[in-house]
Structure 1
Amino acid sequence: MSMTAPAKIVLSDVHKSFGKKVVLDGADLSIAQGESVVIIGGSGTGKSVLLKSILGILRPEKGSIKVDGQEVIGMGAKARDRMMLKFGMLFQGAALFDSLKVWQNVAFGLIQGRGMEREQAHAIAIEKLAQVGLAESAGELFPAELSGGMQKRVALARAIATSPEIIFFDEPTTGLDPIMADVINDLIVKCTKELGATTLSITHDMASARKIADRIAMLYKGRLIWVGPAKDIDHSGNEFVDQFIHGRADGPIKMELRA
């Protein structure tokens, strides 16, 4: 990823609230074409809300979100449908369709989203399964017949099946043991580099963040309070970042208790 690459996604002063609960309070972030950015932060800090705002699932009250220079906030339905063709997504927990075979899960976006013939979609699905280290025979299984690690591989194959320009990863290693998590991290790096995709990930897993990120951003109280190269995370000079990455109870971040 070249530091002179044009911006693929730009968030400027993004605000989003739910009633009196302020979730995003002036979030700013620019992601270059081909760059991998990971957003870290505690539970409930707004990481998923930020992703959903970029996708247009949620509409911020204020600010600007641009993808390839196009304003996302307020975009019409047809324009949004066209824009969504640029995206791939690996959901938390894999989120596979239990009633569909593995190859049908991988090919879902090709058949339903692109109108591709099943035979052609099947061939691409098998190719993508091979990219994530799964045999053709795995394509005939159902998700319930797979281990957690294999399900994540299938989810990754589905995320890259349409050769998207942008891929979002929502807690890609949740529920995996450390070794399988590292395998998935390696596959994410390999597959996204092969595609040349721009990626935005959210995670609590610092080992994952360090491996897949070019830059890491920390979200706290609705703002991205630190953004920098992954290699600089251990000497960020930010006490909030330092507390979070080392998992310390003592520090400026205090757990908010709910009544």
Structure 2
Amino acid sequence: MTEAPAKIAIRGLHKSFGSKHVLRGVDLDVPAGSSVVVIGGSGTGKSVLLKCILGILQADAGSIRVDGSEVVGASGSDLEGIRHKFGMLFQGGALFDSLPVWENVSFGVRARQKIGRDEARRIAVENLEKVGLAADVADLMPAELSGGMQKRVGLARAVALQPEILFFDEPTTGLDPIMADVINNLIRSLTRAMGATALSITHDMASVRKIADYVAMLYEGRVIWYGRVEDLDRSGNDFVDQFIHGRAEGPITVGTR
């Protein structure tokens, strides 16, 4: 799909839940060092795709290769080895309510490395500073943070392990437009500084235009368009055009009850 080598290569991916066919043969490349954003309406399979790549869900058929290593069917140490390349910013932040901020940020580091509390706190503060949060935030509890601060703490945790691949699940959901732009800028600057590959799912077109190098549109379980973000407005695809402009009229129909 691109000239750059694929960090993640997906071919013929299928996933069903009983009689409900969610993914129906997804093909997608995520080029190394680039940012790919998957767009599509609710229920089109974006989250299921992400969970299959992470190995949280087992695909029914097809292939997901990360640096050539197969995720589909992998288990135990093989899957864990692949996951060591990953960092994740969850949609709701997914912070541990009972742990202070610094322990949230350093949680993954301490799980993989034998380090003491002082070193873990130092690493946490260093990564909090990367997302624009002062050192004194480290001792706060998640309940004391605003939604935007929680997102930034989640981002600090995602980058603390210096992953090769970052995943972003609806990174600006629930944020006001200004804070959403702050998060988008941080995602863009941090992934570039790290030289990381990024895969995001979102329906927020402002995020798409800010953080994407490439865009893939998922519809009815398949990628129906893939291209550079600068080509989005001239995709020549009626489904893409309707979605990115938020039009009720078009080939995408929304069922009512």
| TM-score normalised by structure 1 residue count | 0.96
Tell me whether 113-122 or 179-188 shows the greater mean CA deviation. 113-122
Tell me whether 220-229 or 117-126 shows the greater mean CA deviation. 117-126
Deviation at 1:257, TM superposition (A): 4.0
The residue that corresponds to 1:94 in the other structure is 93
Deviation at 1:76, TM superposition (A): 2.5
Count of aligned pairs between the two proteins: 256
Distance (whole Å) between structure 1 residues aligned to residue 163 and residue 232 of structure 2: 29
The residue that corresponds to 1:209 in the other structure is 208
Change (3 A) 1:184 1:160: same
Distance (whole Å) between structure 2 residues aligned to residue 197 and residue 107 of structure 1: 19
Of all paired residues, the percent bearing the same amino acid is 64
Deviation at 1:123, TM superposition (A): 1.0
Deviation at 1:226, TM superposition (A): 0.3
Distance (whole Å) between structure 2 residues aligned to residue 255 and residue 163 of structure 1: 41
The residue that corresponds to 2:59 in the other structure is 60
Deviation at 1:245, TM superposition (A): 0.6
Is contact 2:215-2:227 (8 Å) kept? yes
The residue that corresponds to 1:185 in the other structure is 184
Which 4+ stretches in 1 moved above 4 angstroms?
Answer: none
Stretches of structure 1 lacking an aligned partner (at least 5 in a row): none
Distance (whole Å) between structure 1 residues aligned to residue 114 and residue 242 of structure 2: 48
Distance (whole Å) between structure 2 residues aligned to residue 188 and residue 117 of structure 1: 29
Distance (whole Å) between structure 1 residues aligned to residue 67 and residue 116 of structure 2: 29
The 5 Å alignment of 1:1-16 reads 4-16=3-15
The residue that corresponds to 2:218 in the other structure is 219
SS of aligned partner of 1:92: coil
Distance (whole Å) between structure 1 residues aligned to residue 167 and residue 214 of structure 2: 15
The residue that corresponds to 1:26 in the other structure is 25
Stretches of structure 2 lacking an aligned partner (at least 5 in a row): none
Tell me whether 105-114 or 130-139 shows the greater mean CA deviation. 105-114
The residue that corresponds to 2:102 in the other structure is 103
Is contact 2:87-2:165 (8 Å) kept? yes
Is contact 2:38-2:215 (8 Å) kept? yes
The 5 Å alignment of 1:58-207 reads 58-207=57-206
Deviation at 1:6, TM superposition (A): 2.1
Deviation at 1:256, TM superposition (A): 2.9
Distance (whole Å) between structure 2 residues aligned to residue 117 and residue 110 of structure 1: 11
Deviation at 1:195, TM superposition (A): 0.8
Is contact 2:69-2:82 (8 Å) kept? no
Distance (whole Å) between structure 2 residues aligned to residue 114 and residue 48 of structure 1: 30
The residue that corresponds to 1:17 in the other structure is 16
Distance (whole Å) between structure 2 residues aligned to residue 94 and residue 166 of structure 1: 18
SS of aligned partner of 2:119: helix
1:149 maps to a residue whose letter is G
Distance (whole Å) between structure 1 residues aligned to residue 221 and residue 113 of structure 2: 36
Cα deviation per residue 1:26-51 (whole Å; 9 max; x = unaligned)?
Answer: 10001111110000000111001001
SS of aligned partner of 2:148: helix
Distance (whole Å) between structure 2 residues aligned to residue 122 and residue 6 of structure 1: 37
Deviation at 1:4, TM superposition (A): 4.7
Cα deviation per residue 1:85-114 (whole Å; 9 max; x = unaligned)?
Answer: 110000001111111101111001011233
Distance (whole Å) between structure 2 residues aligned to residue 37 and residue 27 of structure 1: 15
Is contact 2:10-2:27 (8 Å) kept? yes
The residue that corresponds to 1:251 in the other structure is 250
Root-mean-square deviation over aligned CA pairs: 1.1
Change (3 A) 1:249 1:79: same
The residue that corresponds to 2:36 in the other structure is 37
Deviation at 1:63, TM superposition (A): 0.7
Cα deviation per residue 1:231-257 (whole Å; 9 max; x = unaligned)?
Answer: 111111100001111111111001134
